[in-house]
Amino acid sequence: MEREIAEEVFAACENALARLTDVEVAIAKISDSEERAKLMHVLSVAIAEILAGVRAPVVLQYPEIQPFDDQDAAPYEPDQEEIELMRAATDAQGDAVDQLVLRECTNRWEKVAKIVGNLIPEFEQSFPHLPFVYMLARMDELEDLGKLEVAGNVWSMRYSEIRLLQPGAGVA
């Protein structure tokens, strides 16, 4: 692929991913947890396909093309209701969510959006009273506990990756 076309493809991917962030925010507002989970899963698959199937080959061929501007990756900010629901979660619920997240993670870096998308159906079924963003809060905690490594800010799901803590790696 010629460089000029690669830059055009890359820019188009970034624009598409930005619009998909708008979709993600809208889906998060759906009150029906089953419908929200289904749509969030489909969205996470679409994002993964764009990242892995279109953008990654461009970056591999032309690594000097910068992946994104940190400023366009605004983190999700939970609203007051979500914050109150997360604060009301019990230690046992936190531990159970931790186990879900750790079970889904591997030794390889994966997008937080993919992990969350894969877990939403089970999360929504097990914890219908908790917002899906509780998984992000638990990922932060798991990093602090030295169980996960995080690249980026988990609250910017499309722009961050996680994996199980690697042997010999210290807690940041």
Tens-place pLDDT, residues 88-104: 999 999 999 999 999 99
Please report whether residue 132 resides in a domain: yes
Please report whether residue 169 resides in a domain: no
Please report whether residue 172 resides in a domain: no
CA distance 73 to 81: 23
CA distance 122 to 38: 11
Tens-place pLDDT, residues 1-50: 898 999 899 889 888 888 888 888 888 888 888 898 889 888 888 888 88
Q: Which domain holds residue 62?
A: 3-67+80-164
Please report whether residue 72 resides in a domain: no
What is the number of domains present in the chain? 1
Please report whether residue 74 resides in a domain: no
Please report whether residue 171 resides in a domain: no
β-strand 161-164 against 110-111: which pairing, if any? antiparallel
Please report whether residue 48 resides in a domain: yes
Contacts of 92 (CB under 8 A, 6+ apart): none
Please report whether residue 33 resides in a domain: yes
State the pTM of this model.
0.61
**pLDDT at residue 122 in the model:** 92
CA distance 52 to 164: 21
Check: CB of residue 48 under 8 Å from CB of residue 114.
Answer: yes
